[in-house]
Amino acid sequence: MSGCLRLCTAASCRSRGALALLETSTLPVKEVGCLGPCSEGPLAVMDGTLLSLQQAASEPLEPSLAAALARSRAISSEDSFLKLQRRLVLARCGVVDPGCINDALAQGAYQQLQAVLAADNPSAVIETVRRSGLRGRGGAGYPTGLKWATVAAMPGEHKVVVCNADEGDPGAFMDRTLMEGDPHTLLEGMAIAAFAVGAQQGYIYVRAEYPLAIERLRTAIAAAEVRGWLGKGIRGSRFNVAIELRVGAGAYVCGEETALIHSIEGRRGVPRPRPPYPAEHGVFGLPTLINNVETFGNIPALLRLGVEAYGAGTKVFSLTGHVRRSGVLEVPMGTPLRTIVETMGGGAPPGRSIKAVQTGGPSGGCVPASALDTPVDYDSLKALGTIMGSGGMVVLDDTTNMVDLAAFFIAFSREESCGKCIPCRSGTVQLEMLLRKLLERRGSAADLSQLESLCHTVADASLCGLGQSAPKPVLSTLRHFRSDYLELLRPAEVGR
C-alpha cells in the first residue's frame, strides 16, 4: 500500500476542506484519522511523506486533490513535531482506515485481546497494568492497575466497564482523535479490561458534540461484532462482552463519574457523594470500572511491549492557542513543557512571547513561562498548582490578560454547574461577578480578597470535582500573575 495516498478526514482537516478534496479525487485515496499537526491541514501522506495541502488564504481554492498535491508542501520526518513523538496510543491513528476493520486487523488490531484470551489469566493482566505504573489519563491520575484490581475483587457475576469519552475541556481533543482515527484500539483496550475485571457489559459514554467519533465507533463496534471480536464467546473462548454507545446530551458535568453513571442509567446527570465508589456501586448498582479513552488506548500497546519496553509511557496532548503549530501529539511522559510548546509547537507567533501554558481546562491552571522546563508528569504539574488534566494544552502569549482567562473558565464552570450543591451553583456566579467587576476596573482590594476567599470556599465545600476545581484557574493565575489583577484595581487602591 506504499503507493497509496492517505488523506486525513478527521474533524480538523474536514473543517479545512478535506472532504471536498476527497470528492474530486481521481486517485485511490485511503481515509485516515489525525496525522498530527492540524494547523497545517488538510494533511495527506504520499509514499510515506507527510504533505500539507494548505493554501494561503489569498490563493484561489484548488479545484482538485491532484492540483492540491502538486502544490503541496512536504513536512520532513525530521521535523521535531513528528520526530520527538512516541506514538503508542496513536500508533495506528493516521495509518489505518478507521472505517475498515480488515485494515485494522492487518495492522495488528485485537492481537493483544487474542493473546490475553489464549493465556486465560485475568489477574496476570491486572498485574501487568499495575506494574507498568499506568495512571488514569482522564486527569486525576488514579493508578489504573489498582482500580482494575478493586473492581475485579468485587463480588458478583455482573460487572460493567465504562469508557469516559465525554471530553469536554475547552482546548482538549485528544480522545476525539483516537476515536475518529483508530476506534478499534479503544475497543480492544475495553475488551481486555472487561476480561481482566470480569465484566460482560461495556458502555462508551461519548459526547454528542463528536458526531464523527460516534459514527466511526458505531461502525467499528458493528464490524467487531460481525468478526467475533465483541459479543458472545469471543474467538472461541467463554468470554462475552457487549459494548454499547451512550451519547451525552451536552452536559460537561457528565464527565464526572457519578454523574456519568446517572446519565447512562437514563437519569439526570448530577453527581452524588462518594463513597460508595463506582467500583462498588456503579452503573445500575453493579461494580463498575470507569476509565478514560486514552487509558484504555494504552492497554494494547502496554501488553504488546511489556512493562520494561513500555517504560514510563506516553501522554497525548492537544496543543492549541497562541502557538505556531497546533495539533495532536503523543510524547514520552516527563517531556519538558518547553520541548512541546517551543520545539515541537514552534513557540509563540512572530513578534510575541509565551506568557503561560494552560493545562487541565477549567479544572486546571497555568504554568508561567518561567517554569516551562517543568517535565510534564502528574506530580510536577500538581506542584505548580495545576494538573496534568486530560491533555488539553492551551498556549497563551503576552497579549493575554490572565484575569480575562480566569473569567472565561469561571463562566464556563458557572454555565456547566449542575446546580445540585450551593457552593458551585451560586459560588461560581458570584466569582464571575467579582471577576467582571475587576475587569471593568470597578474592583477594590477588598473585592480581590473576597475573590480569593470565595475561591477557597467553593473549592473546599463543593460536592464534586467540577465545583472543587472550578476556582483553580483563578487561584492559579492569582499565584503566578497577581500583577494582572493588581493592575485592574481602581487607581486609588493600588499600593494600599
Partner 1 sequence: MSVCTLQINERDVAVPTGTTLLEAARQASIPIPTLCFLEGLSAVAACRLCLVEVRGADGREEPRLLAACVTTAAEGMRVQTHTPRLQDIRRTVIELLFTEGNHVCAICVANGHCELQNLAVEVGMDHSRLPYRFPERHVDLSHAQFGLDHNRCILCTRCVRVCDEVEGAHVWDVGWRGEHCQIISGLGEPWGAVEACTHCGKCVDVCPTGALFHKADTSEEKHSHPERLQALVHARSHQEWSP
- Residue number with CB closer to partner 1 (64 or 430): 430
Which one of the spans 49-57, 102-110, 279-287, 418-426 is the region binding partner 1 (CB under 8 A)? Answer: 418-426
- Residue number with CB closer to partner 1 (80 or 430): 430
Which residue in the set 430, 445, 479, 493 belongs to the binding site for partner 1 (CB under 8 A)?
Answer: 430
- Residue number with CB closer to partner 1 (3 or 273): 273
Which residue in the set 268, 352, 442, 490 belongs to the binding site for partner 1 (CB under 8 A)?
Answer: 268
- DSSP-derived 3-state class of residue 201: strand
Which residue in the set 175, 330, 416, 484 belongs to the binding site for partner 1 (CB under 8 A)?
Answer: 416
- Residue number with CB closer to partner 1 (233 or 419): 419
Containing H/E element for 35? none
Which one of the spans 145-153, 278-286, 324-332, 422-430 is the region binding partner 1 (CB under 8 A)? Answer: 422-430
Nearest approach in angstroms of CB 458 to partner 1 is: 9
293-310 and 111-119 helices cross at what angle (nearest 10)? 70
Nearest approach in angstroms of CB 414 to partner 1 is: 6
- Residue number with CB closer to partner 1 (240 or 450): 450
Tell whether residue 421 is a contact of partner 1 (CB under 8 A): yes
- Residue number with CB closer to partner 1 (189 or 467): 467
Residue indicated by cell numbers 496534568: 388
- Give the separation between CA 300 and CA 469, rounded to whole angstroms: 32
Cell triple for 43: 494533511
Nearest approach in angstroms of CB 168 to partner 1 is: 14
Which residue in the set 21, 75, 217, 251 belongs to the binding site for partner 1 (CB under 8 A)?
Answer: 251
Q: How many residues bind partner 1 (CB under 8 A)?
A: 31
The sign of the torsion formed by the CA atoms of 162, 165, 170, 172 equals positive
Question: Phi and psi at residue 354, in whole multiples of 5°?
Answer: -75, 135
Nearest approach in angstroms of CB 275 to partner 1 is: 8
Per-residue contact track with partner 1, 456 to 495, x per CB under 8 A? -x--xxxx--------------------------------
- Give the separation between CA 219 and CA 274, rounded to whole angstroms: 35
Tell whether residue 450 is a contact of partner 1 (CB under 8 A): yes
Instruction: Give the pairing type, strands 201-206 and 160-165.
Output: parallel
Which residue in the set 112, 417, 476, 477 belongs to the binding site for partner 1 (CB under 8 A)?
Answer: 417
Q: Which residues pair with 290 in a beta bridge?
A: 162
- Residue number with CB closer to partner 1 (15 or 449): 449
- Residue number with CB closer to partner 1 (398 or 460): 460
Cβ pair 220, 98 in contact under 8 A: yes
- Residue number with CB closer to partner 1 (298 or 417): 417
Closest CA to 395 of 449, 474, 337, 311: 337
Nearest approach in angstroms of CB 249 to partner 1 is: 11
Q: How many CB atoms lie within 10 A of CB 273?
A: 9
Closest CA to 388 of 313, 454, 451: 313
Which one of the spans 16-24, 331-339, 354-362, 417-425 is the region binding partner 1 (CB under 8 A)? Answer: 417-425
Q: How many CB atoms lie within 10 A of CB 365?
A: 28
Nearest approach in angstroms of CB 289 to partner 1 is: 21
How far is Cα of residue 259 from the mean position of the Cα atoms in its chain?
19
- Residue number with CB closer to partner 1 (183 or 467): 467
Nearest approach in angstroms of CB 380 to partner 1 is: 21
Tell whether residue 414 is a contact of partner 1 (CB under 8 A): yes
Cβ pair 473, 405 in contact under 8 A: yes
Which residue in the set 22, 146, 372, 433 belongs to the binding site for partner 1 (CB under 8 A)?
Answer: 433
Which residue in the set 86, 272, 436, 479 belongs to the binding site for partner 1 (CB under 8 A)?
Answer: 272
Q: How many CB atoms lie within 10 A of CB 352?
A: 13
Which one of the spans 64-72, 82-90, 289-297, 408-416 is the region binding partner 1 (CB under 8 A)? Answer: 408-416
Cβ pair 188, 109 in contact under 8 A: yes
- Give the separation between CA 175 and CA 168, rounded to whole angstroms: 10
122-132 and 183-197 helices cross at what angle (nearest 10)? 120
What DSSP letter does each residue of 46-77 carry, written as one string?
ETTEEEE----TTSPPPSSHHHHHHT-EEE-T
Which residue in the set 360, 362, 423, 465 belongs to the binding site for partner 1 (CB under 8 A)?
Answer: 423
Tell whether residue 273 is a contact of partner 1 (CB under 8 A): yes
Residue indicated by cell numbers 495488528: 108
- Residue number with CB closer to partner 1 (130 or 274): 274
Cβ pair 316, 173 in contact under 8 A: no
- Non-local (6+) Cβ contacts of 51 within 8 A are 43, 44, 45, 69, 72, 73, 74, 75
Cβ pair 44, 15 in contact under 8 A: no
Nearest approach in angstroms of CB 413 to partner 1 is: 9
Which residue in the set 415, 442, 487, 494 belongs to the binding site for partner 1 (CB under 8 A)?
Answer: 415
Q: How many CB atoms lie within 10 A of CB 47?
A: 9
Tell whether residue 420 is a contact of partner 1 (CB under 8 A): yes
Footprint of partner 1 on this chain (CB under 8 A)?
251, 253, 268, 270, 272-273, 414-423, 425-430, 433, 450, 453-454, 457, 460-463
